[in-house]
Amino acid sequence: MRANFIFSEVWIGLRRNLTMTIAVVITVAVGMAMLGVGLMINAQVSLLKGYWYDRVEINVFLCSQDTAIQACGGKAATPAQIKALEAQIRGLPGVKEVYFEDQATAFKNFQESGASKTLLDVTKVEDMPQSFRIKLVDPNNYQPVMQAIQGQRGVAQVTNQKELVGKFFDMLDKISNFALAVAIILVLAAALLIGNTVRLSAFNRRRETGIMRLVGASNLYIQLPFVMEGVIAGLIGGVFAAVILIATKVMLFEELAGYFGSGGAQLGWDTVAQVITFTMIIGVVICVLASFVTLRRYLRV
Amino acid sequence: MIHFDNVTKVYANQNRPALDHVSVDVDKGEFVFLVGPSGSGKSTFLRLVLKEERPNSGAIHVAGKDLARLSNFKVPHLRRRIGCVFQDFRLLPNKNVYENVAFALEVIGKPRRFIRKVVPEVIELVGLEGKAHRMPDELSGGEQQRVAMARAFVNRPMILLADEPTGNIDPATSIGIMKVLDRINRTGTTVVMATHDAAIVDSMRKRVVELEDGKIVRDQSRGVYGQAY
């Protein structure tokens, strides 16, 4: 098999169908980028879940003076109530750890949270609620603990961080599903476009292929230039997709991780490399399949 | 070399068979004219030899191979043993004479050294020495047909099929074409030529197989074109 012959044929084919080739490259690039982004969001979500579910706590906010919450009746929780509550929480099954956050600590944490200057200026230590922070053995099994504490005397409000981050994860899941759905549609479009490109190529070169058939060139020899055209267009598209994915990782995922203030849930470059490899393989496989299917119809050997 | 045994071919959507129970034997080294009016089945015969079509019934053996049992995968190897020449030459317009002939060897993966050696030989055999670098549109019809014959013969096939090779060429030039075919035949290559050209058939005095409506109506060694009438 003579490689330079095949490649000169491929080059001629790609140049003759330049507009179609560009269309294929763009479609493959966007399709594979969507697929890659979807996969990266999935990986990011599972990373974040692992990271956050180790840290999520149930917050039991206690009544403070003049609070507007009805359950408190405008009175602060008494030391006796607090003590009783702590004893009760420690007695609940599934509780791993409990600690008390007093007003001073809450105020300090609030000031470090990065809230706006005006808000920080008007907030005083007395405005901060006291709270119990509960860590669970199994963060998914929060319902019984919350129900047991809700409505106890001196309890203003019980919140579960898991519910808050859970909503965020749901949103990320939706985005990733959307990206994957778009990817599937684009992959379909890419396959059809490649089919069309190969068909045009086969038509443009029917004279050559007719003679090749006649003098007994093997099927592989006749078909390979066409398949290679699809593969090369697919590869170029894949390279663009890789660039898009790297940009997404730098501009989106690293920004995102910044909001969570931790390196523990940072999507690593190894994952990005895996995703790029995977999308490239998918892209090339689709190109090869689309080319072969079309050739079977338009290049009878 | 070519053996048809009771072969019938009916094209889809047609009632009348293109070939109707045809049995014929062509031996190695023979020169056979296939004559008959248009639509009598000459081209179908040639297409069946190339396994471009399959017969509806009957057996075909070419170069010792039973075509019915030849897998699609091996059809290219069969075609490497058969050269083809057509009325419309079928040259590649963007390649010169040398490249057109070399193309037939390139696409079956022959090494470049081999190509460089045999292509000039064949170009000389068909009488085009000195014109290797002409483009097809710079050549006369007769010269183009010589290029096509060089391409068909460059891989030294056992069989050369010619489908009205003189159909687009004036009678004087046709004689030259026939001389080349005769030269190729003398190297031991079996030649089957479908033609309408009575003058050529009469002058060559070779075996003549006449088809009419898909049936063989005459098979005569050292025959002439119109003897049956």
pLDDT at position B229 over 50: no
Residue B173, CB-side half-sphere exposure with 13 Å CA sphere: 16
In a domain, B40, yes or no: no
Quote the radius of gyration of chain B (alpha carbons, Å): 17
> What are residue B66's DSSP bridge partners?
B61
Contact present, B97 and B127 (Cβ < 8 Å): no
ipTM of the complex: 0.86
The Cα of A207 is separated from the nearest Cα of chain B by a number of Å equal to: 7
pLDDT in tens, A16-66: 788 888 988 998 899 999 999 888 888 888 887 777 777 778 888 888 777
Instruction: Give A214's contacts in chain B (Cβ within 8 Å).
Output: 50, 79, 84, 90
Average pLDDT, chain A: 82
* Domain boundaries, position B105: 94-155
Contact check, Cβ <8 Å, B108/A215? yes
Lowest mean per-residue pLDDT among A208-217, B27-36, B93-102: A208-217
Q: pLDDT tens for residues B25-52?
A: 999 999 999 998 888 999 999 999 999 9
Question: Phi, psi (5° rounding) for residue A56?
Answer: -65, 145
Instruction: Identify the weakest region by mean pLDDT among A144-153, A231-240, B76-85, B182-191.
Output: A144-153
Distance in Å, alpha carbon of A176 to nearest chain B alpha carbon: 45
Q: Which residues of B touch A219 (CB under 8 A)?
A: 72-73, 76
Residue B89 buriedness (CB in 10 A; 0-12 / 13-18 / 19+): buried
Calpha distance A68→B99 (Å, rounded):
94
Q: How far is B77 from chain A (nearest CA, A)?
A: 6
Is residue B63 a contact partner of residue B80, using CB atoms and an 8 Å limit? no
pLDDT of residue A301: 54
Mean pLDDT (whole number) for B92-99: 93
Decide: helix, strand or coil at residue B227.
coil
Q: Higher confidence at residue A2 or residue A88? A: A88
The pLDDT, as a whole number, for residue B154 is 95
Q: What pLDDT, on a 0 to 100 scale, did the predictor assign at position B165? A: 94
Given CATH 3.30.70.3040, say whether it is the number of domain A57-138: yes
Residues in Cβ contact with A151 at an 8 Å cutoff, skipping those fewer than 6 apart: A71
A56 close to A161: Cβ distance less than 8 angstroms: yes
pLDDT digits (tens, 9 = 90+) for B148-176: 999 999 999 999 999 999 998 998 899 99
In Å, what is the CA distance from A83 to each residue of A78, A90, A157, B42? 9, 11, 17, 108
Model pLDDT, residue A262: 56
| Residues above pLDDT 90, as percent of chain A | 8
pLDDT per position as a tens digit, A115-150: 677 777 777 777 788 888 888 887 777 777 887 887
* A264 vs A266, residue with greater confidence: A266
Query: What are B129-134's contacts with CB under 8 Å, separation 24+?
Result: B131/B97, B132/B96, B132/B97, B132/B98, B133/B96, B133/B97, B133/B98, B134/B96, B134/B97
Give A132's strand partners.
Answer: A60, A100
Q: Read off the pLDDT of each residue in B189-193 and give the average, rounded to a whole number.
A: 96
Per-domain residue ranges for chain A? 3-52+166-298, 57-138
Instruction: Please answer yes or no on whether A217 and B73 come within 8 Å at the CB atom.
Output: no
CB contact (8 A) between residue A2 and residue B109: yes
What is the arithmetic mean of pLDDT over A173-191?
A: 87
For residue B73, the chain A residues in CB contact (below 8 A) are 219
The amino acid occupying position B164 is: E
pLDDT of amino acid A1: 52
pTM exceeds 0.80 for this model: no
Higher pLDDT, A93 or B147: B147
Contacts of A301 in chain B (CB under 8 A): 72, 75-76
How far is it between the farthest Cα atoms of chain A?
100
pLDDT at A107 over 90: no
User: Can you give the pLDDT at residue B35?
Assistant: 93
Residue B94 in contact with partner chain A when CB distance is under 8 A: no
Distance CA A192, CA A113 (A): 52
Structural domain total, chain B: 1
